[in-house]
Amino acid sequence: MDPLDITDKQRLLEMLAQHRRGQARVIDQAEMRAALGRRVQGQDAILDDVSKLIRLQWGKQRRDKPIANLLFVGPPATGKTELAKALAAYLFGDEQHMLRLDCAEFSGPEGKTRLIGTPTGYVGAQQGGQLTRPLFSNPRRLILFDEIEKAYAGVFDLLLSLMGEGRLTEQGSGRVADFTQSVIVLTSNVEHERLGQLREQIDDSRELASAVRSALAESRVFRPEIVSRFDQIYVFQPLDDATRARVAGLKVAQAGEEFGVAIRRIDPQIVFEIVTEGEAEQDARELRRRVDDRLGEVLLAAREQGYRCVAIDLDADGKPVVSQVVDEA
C-alpha cells in the first residue's frame, strides 16, 4: 500500500516526466536564434550572442544561480520586452511562463514587501509575495523586471540575493523561492544615448562590455555590485524605418492570428498610419493598440464571414476593408 494517497498518480508521473524532460533538454543554438529572429527585428548581434550564452548556461548540470542574469538597455520600442517574451516562449514553451514585474509599481518603500510578502503577524502575510509566490508553483520561468530604474532602492537589495545566490526567502511563510531554473531579465532606458555612442565608437566586444559596465556604475542607478552580477549587458540600437515597418508588419500578422485570419496582403498606407500615429512610433505597446483599433473590427467581421485568408485595402473614405483571397500556401 502506498504511504501517501495521491488521487491522480498518472498526472503526477506525467508532471515529473515533463519536469525531467525540461531539465534534460539541449538547446539548439541555430533553432533558438531563428525563433528569436521571427519576433525581434534589427538587433541581430544581440540575438546571436544571447542564443550562444543561453545555450551554454542552460547546459550546466549544476547551478547555484539563475540560468542567466541579463540587462537590456536601450531606447523605447527597440525590442527589449519583445525579446524577453520570445525567450520565455522558446525556453519554457509558452510566453505565459514569463513573470513580468513593472518596476514603476514598486517605486515606494512598500515595493520590497510586495515582492517577497508581508511579515508574519501583519495583514496579508498568507498571500505571499508577487515575486516569490509564483516561483513555488513553477520555478521554470523568465522573470522580467521592466524599467528597473524606477524601482525602490530596497528592490535592488533583493536583486543582489536573487541574481547572486538564486534564492529568496518569502516573508510570512519562511519558504525559500528557487531561481536557479529561471532566466532573469532587467530592462532599462537609463543612459541609452551614452551607451549607444559607446557602441558606435568601440568595435571590440570585450572593450565595449567593460565600457558599458563602467558607464552604468557611474550612472548611480546601478550599484557596482549589481552591475557585476549581470552575465551580459545588451545595448539595443534604435530601429531604422525599414525595420520599424517589419515590426509593424509582424504586429499586424499577430493580430490576424489572434482573430483566426491570415493576412496575405495589406495596403502600405494602413501600416504607415499605424506606425506614425500618436505614440506608436516610440512605444511597442501603443503600436499594438493602434493595430487593434485600426484593424480589429474588419478582422472580426472577416472571421464571422468565414474568411480564412484576406487582403486589406482602403475604400474611398480611407477606411480598411477586407476581401477573401485564395490561400496558395
Sequence ranges of the domains in the chain: 9-235, 241-324
Write out pLDDT tens, residues 228-266.
999 999 999 888 888 888 888 888 999 999 999 999 999
Say if residues 231 and 209 touch (Cβ distance below 8 Å).
Answer: no
Least confident of 10-14, 43-47, 284-288: 10-14
Select the CATH number that applies to the domain covering 241-324 from these four: 3.90.550, 2.160.20, 1.20.140, 1.10.8.
1.10.8
* pLDDT > 90: percent of the chain: 53
Say if residues 145 and 187 touch (Cβ distance below 8 Å).
Answer: yes
Q: Are strands 183-188 and 142-146 parallel, antiparallel or unpaired?
A: parallel
Write out pLDDT tens, residues 289-316.
889 999 999 999 999 999 999 999 999 9
Statement: residue 91 has pLDDT above 90: yes
Statement: residue 115 has pLDDT above 80: yes
pLDDT confidence band for 21 (50 / 70 / 90): very low
Q: Which residue reads 474611398 in cell numbers?
A: 316
* DSSP string of 240-271, one letter each residue: -HHHHHHHHHHHHHHHHHHTT-EEEEE-HHHH
pLDDT at 307: 93
Please give the mean pLDDT across all residues of the chain: 86
Q: What is the pTM for the complete model shown? A: 0.81
Q: What is the CATH T-level fold of the domain 9-235, as seen in this structure? A: Rossmann fold (3.40.50)
* Sheet-wide strand order for 320-324: 262-266, 309-314, 320-324
Q: Do domains 9-235 and 241-324 have the same CATH topology?
A: no
Say if residues 221 and 149 touch (Cβ distance below 8 Å).
Answer: yes
